[in-house]
A and B are shown apart, each in its own frame.
Chain A
Amino acid sequence: MTEKNTADPSTAELLQNFEQLFSHSLPDEYKLLAKNSQQQADFFKKFIQSVADKENLTSFWNLSETLGFDQIQSNKNDSLNSFNWLTKLFDVSLSDNDRSPIENLAYRFVDMSTQYQTEFIAFQKALAEINTLYQQINSSAFDKFKQRQQASDITNPEQLCHFWLEAGEESFKELSSQPSYIAAQQQLFNSLTSLTDQYKEFLQQISSLLGLPTQNDIDELREDIHELRLSFANYRDKTEAEIITLKKQLNS
């Protein structure tokens, strides 16, 4: 067990020590834990201060931030980069820096595509819907937190953080099982899948126009290789079994 020194280092000294550890390199897992610890420490510090200052606390249950994403933007006029986190998970490249030359070409055509626009609007609508529901979770969690705080008259930060957790998880559990939430989440997933498929379809068309192998060509090849791989494995297994049987017969 770590023993406390009589002269504990100050916060600044601790931070400096960590900086030195990072600069001399540390296994990634250790760095990630330190980073996460620091981030959440900042979060809970701000939360406790906001409770003390009687500020509006709803943002402390923001789900997209909690999950480590950027703030979900639902306004049509917002930059595409505002939901890069979501599109990246589906491997839809919307940023210039990530695109290959052929994707850049495709992107220009994509701009002009009505269907892509339609899918995009559906995606934005789903995003707006889920954003509204996330706001409801925030509000509900805040109400539950207030109820707990008022009922117990507790000011201890440890207990306040525990109330934060209970209020958040309870609100999330209640609202995420509602049909509206389930439908919105499914719509978001389905519209993003449609968007991804549309985007890939356009890449396909461009590849075809330029006489390059299309994704379909590559997939056909992959499927054939996949079948061949399985057939070979099956053949190898059956042959091995027959060899063993033959050996047994020869030995008997």
Chain B
Amino acid sequence: MTHKQSATANWHDNLASLNELYKGVQEDHKVDVGMSPKVQLYKENKLRLYQYEALPVKQKNTPLLIVYALVNRPFITDLEPDRSLVLRLLEAGYPVFLIDWGYPDESDKFTSLDDYINGYLYRSIQQIHRHTNSKKIDLLGVCQGGVFSLCYSALYPESIRKVITLVTPINFHCDESNLHHWVSGIKSSLSNTSPNNIPGKLLTHFFKAMRPYLLNRDKYRNLSKRIKTSTQLETFLRMEKWINDSPDLAGKAAIEFIEKFYQKNGFVNDNLTIGKKTVQLNKITSPVLNLFADNDHIVPASSSQALAQLIKPTLYKESILEGGHIGAFTRVSSQKKLIITLKKWLG
């Protein structure tokens, strides 16, 4: 077989495979994510606070709030039943809550980090306190959500029992990631007077540009070898849907995050203020479990591990997960280890 014939045969296999898998797909079929049953507990502007329906297992006492990043949608934590971090937590009896930050529009361009942390997040947690009659909650912050969770825990330590940070950047100036270099020189002062939202599409392109050849071309090669069943096809499509579903970032908060973290490295340099409040991680009084991935090109392990130097040693524990930034908690094998670690530590 010549090269051309071989390449053509490979492409033919891909097309044939997709053709078979596509047969019978109805027009109204939906590729859905985040389908674990939940009820809306609170809403404010674009924000929705959800409480997931408990499963018929013995329930733990302390509510667990998942705080996701502003970038991308939080339902990656509930991608599909076999890969749902939410469902694993529910199966273990944890009362799970989740903040959906929503889709900011032009009316949200003046939303600051202070508004997000001391406003939206604060009020959402008050709602959980009241609804569950609990004085303290546990926080599970993912990526930038972990940054928010740490800030909150430092500002309101009386409200938090335990904090888990998952693939969370702490040292924004570590060399293993290009992200800090690419972002730190941006002249954010240009947009201070009238901040513009950062388009979600730009963010999607930006993240795909971090591994351009893999994420834009190679992943579509040899689909017939990777996707053999309709279940695998659905999983692939869910991931694609999530990757391409990036909300715009509220302008002021985005600029502040770049300045305070990517440029000034606020946690490490101990010069972080959110609104009028100084944030110092050594003020955290609750135990912290820091989970990070061993192959994360967005938040390198060393960036997350820097937390060890900033939290009281008696409160700090860390654990490495196998996989990348998202795979660390969506891959079936990684999730198993993650849940065992969480159950053992959370209690």
Contact = CB atoms under 8 A, between A and B. Distances in A.
Interface string A160-201: 110011001100110011000011011001100110110000
Given A8-B16, A30-B22, A37-B15, A66 B216 contact: yes
Interface string A79-93: 000000000011100
Contacts, number: 189
A190 B25 contact: no
Contacts of B4: 45, 48-49, 52
Contacts of A90: 199, 202
A223 B185 contact: no
A43 B181 contact: no
Given A27-B27, A27-B30, A37-B18, A165 B115 contact: no
B295 interface: no
Given A182-B181, A186-B182, A226-B110, A157 B6 contact: yes
A18 B19 contact: yes
A160 B221 CA distance: 12
Contact of A37 (B110, B196, B223): B223
Interface string B207-244: 01101111011101111000011000000110011000
Interface string B43-71: 01100000000000000000000000000
A67 B209 contact: yes
Given A222-B109, A225-B107, A164 B213 contact: yes
A67 B208 contact: yes
Interface stretch (A94-102, A103-111, A205-213, A227-235): A227-235
A48 B6 contact: yes
A121 interface: no
Given A37-B15, A222-B109, A61 B213 contact: yes
A161 B44 CA distance: 49
A45 B7 contact: yes
Contacts of B277: none
B15 A30 contact: no
Nearest to A69: B205
B106 interface: yes
Contact of A157 (B10, B107, B119): B10
A51 interface: yes
A182 B182 contact: yes
Interface stretch (B149-157, B187-195, B266-274, B301-309): B187-195
A43 B25 contact: no
A61 B217 CA distance: 10
B78 interface: no
A92 B327 CA distance: 36
Interface string A232-247: 0110010011001000
B212 A34 contact: no
Interface centre among A67, A168, A216 (most CB of B within 10 A): A67
Interface in B1-53: 2-4, 6-8, 10-12, 14-22, 25, 27-31, 44-45
A61 B45 CA distance: 44
B111 A226 contact: yes
A39 B181 CA distance: 32
B256 interface: no
Contacts of A157: 3, 6-7, 10
B132 interface: no
B243 to A, nearest CB: 11
Contacts of B135: none
Nearest to B203: A89
Interface residues of B, number: 70
Nearest to A169: B213
Nearest to A49: B4
B123 interface: yes
Contacts of B212: 63, 66-67, 168-169, 172
Interface string B309-323: 000000000000000
A120 interface: no
A32 B199 CA distance: 21
A9 B16 contact: yes
B130 A89 contact: no
A176 B27 contact: no
B178 interface: yes
B46 to A, nearest CB: 11
B296 to A, nearest CB: 15
Interface in B165-190: 178, 181-182, 185-187, 190
Interface string A10-36: 010011011001001111011011101
Interface of B: 2-4, 6-8, 10-12, 14-22, 25, 27-31, 44-45, 106-111, 115, 119, 123, 126, 130, 178, 181-182, 185-187, 190-191, 194, 196, 199, 201-202, 205, 208-209, 211-214, 216-218, 220-223, 228-229, 236-237, 240-241
16 contacts: A14-B19, A15-B15, A18-B15, A32-B240, A37-B220, A38-B15, A41-B11, A41-B221, A66-B217, A157-B3, A173-B178, A177-B181, A189-B186, A190-B185, A226-B110, A244-B130
Given A91-B196, A222-B109, A233-B45, 5 more contacts: A2-B20, A11-B15, A29-B237, A29-B240, A169-B212
